[in-house]
Amino acid sequence: MTLRAPILFVLLTVLYPVPQFAFEPSPCSQPSSVRESLMRQAEQNQFTLRRVEFIGLTYTRDDVVRPRMTRFKDGGRTLSFNEGDLFSRYKLVQSLRSVSRLRSEIYPVRLSDVEVRLNQSEKTIDMAICFKPKRR
């Protein structure tokens, strides 16, 4: 009887492995001081927006969010924030505000939900924006 318990334990662990929880940092866990410094540097040195990546859109399609990200109204005028444009913190904040109006789809997006990466040699900036979807 003493041998059956270890054999049963081994069989159960082989059939039902315990998940390994490797707590990797979220893609959008960039410290605010680092993010602010990188955005200031990108704006001062006129970096070009190369890529905007959306993370966490499980229920909402990309083509619903991207138009709100790229074209938004500021007062009476329409601004754009597309890949290939010069980076502007003001345009980023306004586009996040525009995207946050999708309240039925996602929770509001803040600047803390953005991760910034710079490529010094090409003078480009890549951004990852993390969304928290609402359950349907």
Q: What percentage of the chain's residues is helix, strand, coil (to nearest 5)?
A: 35, 25, 40
Per-residue pLDDT band for 21 (boundaries 50, 70, 90) equals very low
Q: What is the pTM of this model?
A: 0.73
Confidence (pLDDT) at 2: 53
Give the sign of the dihedral formed by CA 45, CA 50, CA 55, CA 59. Answer: positive
Confidence (pLDDT) at 135: 75
Using DSSP's 3-state secondary structure scheme, residue 41 falls into helix
| Percentage of the chain lying above the pLDDT 70 cut | 79
Per-residue pLDDT band for 27 (boundaries 50, 70, 90) equals low
pLDDT in tens, 76-108: 777 778 889 999 999 999 889 888 888 888 888
Residue-range domains of the chain with CATH: 29-130 (3.10.20.310)
